[in-house]
Amino acid sequence: MKHLIRLLLCCLLLAPAICRANDGFGGLSATGLHFHKNASVRMLAEDLFLSPGQVRVRSVFRNEGAMDVQGEVIFPLPPISLAALTDSGFALSEQQLARENVVDFIASVNGQRIPVQSDRIAVREPHFEAQRPLSAGYDTPGEDVTAVLKELGIPLSLNVTEVAAMIARLPQPSKDRLRAGKLADFFDGEPPRPAWSIIVRYHWPQVFPAGREITIDHRYAPAPPGGIFSWPKQERDLDPYQRELIQTYCIDDTTRKGLVKRLHHASAGELAGTGTALFLDYVLTTANTWHGPIGTFRLTIDKGSPDNILSLCMDGIRKTGPTTFVVEKTNFTPTEDLRLLIVSRLAQ
Within a domain: 93: yes
Residue 130 pLDDT: 65
Within a domain: 243: yes
Nearest residue to 35 (alpha-carbon basis) of 282, 212, 205, 217: 205
Within a domain: 154: no
20 pLDDT above the threshold of 50: no
Within a domain: 258: yes
User: What range defines the domain where residue 339 resides?
Assistant: 2-145+196-345
Within a domain: 76: yes
Residue 23 pLDDT: 62
5 pLDDT above the threshold of 80: no
Average pLDDT over residues 305-329: 96
Residue 131 pLDDT: 66
Rounded CA gap, 300 and 56, in Å? 10
> pLDDT tens across 118-169, in order?
999 999 988 876 667 777 767 778 899 999 999 999 999 999 999 999 999 9
Within a domain: 160: no
> pLDDT tens across 45-90, in order?
999 999 999 999 999 999 999 999 998 999 988 899 999 898 878 8
Within a domain: 257: yes
Contacts of 176 (CB under 8 A, 6+ apart): none
Residue 141 pLDDT: 84
Q: Per-residue b/e over 209-248, b at no fewer than 16 CB within 10 Å?
A: eeeeebebbbbbebbbbbbbbbbbbeeeebeeebebbeeb
* pLDDT level of residue 32 (50, 70, 90 thresholds): confident
86-90, 97-101, 102-106, 137-141: lowest mean pLDDT where? 137-141
Q: What share of the chain is helix, strand, coil (3-state, %, to 5)?
A: 25, 35, 40
Residue 274 pLDDT: 87
User: What's the whole-number average pLDDT of the chain?
Assistant: 87
Nearest residue to 7 (alpha-carbon basis) of 221, 160, 197, 230: 230
Q: What is the DSSP secondary-structure string of 55-102?
A: EEEEEEEEE-SSS-EEEEEEEEPPPEEHHHHHHS-BSS-HHHHHSSST
* pLDDT level of residue 292 (50, 70, 90 thresholds): confident
> pLDDT tens across 245-263, in order?
999 999 999 999 999 988 8
Question: CATH number for the domain including 289?
Answer: 2.60.40.3680
Within a domain: 179: no
Structural domains of the chain, count: 1
311 pLDDT above the threshold of 70: yes
Measured in degrees and rounded to the nearest 5, phi and psi for residue 232 equal -80, 160
* pLDDT level of residue 269 (50, 70, 90 thresholds): low
> pLDDT tens across 192-227, in order?
999 999 999 999 999 999 999 999 999 999 999 999
